Amino acid sequence: MKIDRQQKYQGLVIALQANFYQVLLNQLGSYGVNELLCTCRTRLTQRGERICVGDQVEVESIDWKQRRAVVVSIGPRSSILKRPMVANCTRTLVVVTLNEPNLNPDQLSRFLLTAEAADLPIDVVFNKSDLVTFAIIQQWQKRVYKWGYASFAISSRTGEGLHKLRKHLKTSSLSVICGPSGVGKSSLINSLIPKLNLKVGSVSGRLQRGRHTTRHVELFPIEPNAMIADTPGFNRPDLPDEPQSLGWLFPEIRYAIIKRSCRFRNCLHQGDLGCAIGIEWDRYRFYRQSLEELLEFNKSNPVSFIRNRKGI
C-alpha cells in the first residue's frame, strides 16, 4: 500500500491511549475515512510538546487503508484544563450528586478551583435528581448560586432537565464533563447521545465511591461543532499552585474586590483589618483551609514553590 508522504490533513485529537492519538479529520479523506489512529513525530516530543485531547493537529504519512498517520504539528491552544488534561475546552461542567454518592461540598469546590484555574465558563450539574426531593435540590442550587455558579438539576435516568442542558451545551464547541467517580458522567453523555452506549459502573459498597469505569478522556459530538468530553472520575483534585492567586479562583472574592479593593495589594483575605472580603461568606472556612494547605506545602517544598512562582 502506497503511503502519501506529502499530503497533510488537519484534525481534532478525540482520544489518546498510550502512545496513540485518535484524530477526527476536519474533512473526509480517501475512501470516506474520517478518523485516523496516529503516532507522533519524535521531533515533537523531543521539543517537550505534549499532545492533548482537544488539540488541533496536522497529520501526514497517511495510510488510508490501515487508517494510520503521523502527527507532525500541534495548533495553538486557546485554553488548557490541567486535570483532566484537555486542550481548547470552552466550558466545564462539574457534575455531582446529592445522593449515591453524597455531596461533599469541599470536593465540589476543589473541582471548581481546577476549572477556574483554566479560566473557563463553569456550570454545576446536580445529577440523579430522581433520588432526592425538589426542595433539597433547590436549596443546593441557591447555595452554589451564591458561590457564583449557575446550575442544572438533571436525571440521566429519567431524562429530567436534559433538554435544557443539551440546548446549553450545543452553544459550546468543547464542554468537559468532570466530577467525582460514580456521579453519572458517562451515563449523562449516554443520555445526551443515545447511540453511544458508553460503559457505566455502579457505585460500590459502603464507601459510596464509584468504580472507575472511564479510564481515558474522550470526545464525543453532540452536534458536529459541539463536542463533549467524558473524563475518568477522580476524587481529590489538586489545589492550584500559588497561595497569592488562590483568592482569584473564588467568584465571591473576585466580585467583592471589583467593588472595593483590600488595603494591601498582597492581602491573603484572612479577615485582617483592611480586607474587603471579610469572613462572613459560605466558603470562607474552605478558603482558609485551602490557603493553609498551600502555604504549608510551599514551606516544606521550597523548590517547588520557586518553580511555581516562575510558572515552570
Ligand X SMILES: Nc1nc2c(ncn2[C@@H]2O[C@H](COP(=O)(O)OP(=O)(O)O)[C@@H](O)[C@H]2O)c(=O)[nH]1
**Interface contacts to Mg ion, rule CB under 5 A:** 185-186, 213-214
When CB distances are held under 5 to 8 angstroms depending on the partner's kind, the choice from Zn ion, Mg ion, ligand X, none that residue 157 binds is ligand X
| Residues engaged in binding Zn ion (CB under 5 A) | 262, 267, 269, 275, 277
**Dihedral in degrees, nearest 10, Cα atoms 296, 301, 304, 306:** 80
Rounded to a whole number of angstroms, the minimum distance from the CB of residue 187 to Mg ion is 8
Rounded to a whole number of angstroms, the minimum distance from the CB of residue 79 to ligand X is 23
Instruction: Name the residue number minimizing CB distance to ligand X.
Output: 184
When CB distances are held under 5 to 8 angstroms depending on the partner's kind, the choice from Mg ion, ligand X, Zn ion, none that residue 202 binds is ligand X
Of 89 and 203, nearer to ligand X (C-beta) is: 203
Rounded to a whole number of angstroms, the minimum distance from the CB of residue 131 to ligand X is 5
Burial (CB count within 10 angstroms: exposed 0-12, middle 13-18, buried 19+), residue 216? middle
Residue of 4, 11, 39 whose CA lies nearest to 27: 11
Of 10 and 235, nearer to ligand X (C-beta) is: 235
User: CB–CB of 170/222 below 8 Å?
Assistant: yes
Residue 254 — φ and ψ, nearest 5°? -55, -50
Spatial separation of the C-alpha atoms in residues 79 and 118, rounded to whole Å = 7
Crossing angle (nearest 10°) for helices 284-300 and 302-309: 110
The amino acid that residue 33 corresponds to is V
Rounded to a whole number of angstroms, the minimum distance from the CB of residue 22 to ligand X is 20
Rounded to a whole number of angstroms, the minimum distance from the CB of residue 41 to ligand X is 34
* Cell (9 digits) for 207: 464507601
Spatial separation of the C-alpha atoms in residues 290 and 246, rounded to whole Å = 8
Of 88 and 214, nearer to Mg ion (C-beta) is: 214
Rounded to a whole number of angstroms, the minimum distance from the CB of residue 258 to Zn ion is 13
User: CB–CB of 86/176 below 8 Å?
Assistant: yes
User: CB–CB of 94/108 below 8 Å?
Assistant: yes
Of 143 and 157, nearer to Mg ion (C-beta) is: 157
Of 154 and 268, nearer to ligand X (C-beta) is: 154
When CB distances are held under 5 to 8 angstroms depending on the partner's kind, the choice from Mg ion, Zn ion, ligand X, none that residue 275 binds is Zn ion
Residue of 303, 283, 282, 294 whose CA lies nearest to 240: 294
Strand 20-25 and strand 9-17: the pairing is: antiparallel
Of 75 and 159, nearer to ligand X (C-beta) is: 159
Residue 135 — φ and ψ, nearest 5°? -60, -40
Rounded to a whole number of angstroms, the minimum distance from the CB of residue 185 to ligand X is 3
Of 12 and 96, nearer to ligand X (C-beta) is: 96
Of 172 and 187, nearer to ligand X (C-beta) is: 187
User: CB–CB of 210/184 below 8 Å?
Assistant: no
Strand 68-74 and strand 35-40: the pairing is: parallel
Rounded to a whole number of angstroms, the minimum distance from the CB of residue 50 to ligand X is 25
Spatial separation of the C-alpha atoms in residues 80 and 101, rounded to whole Å = 28
| Residues engaged in binding ligand X (CB under 6 A) | 127-128, 130-131, 155-157, 181-187, 200-203, 210, 213-214, 233
Instruction: Name the residue number minimizing CB distance to Mg ion.
Output: 214
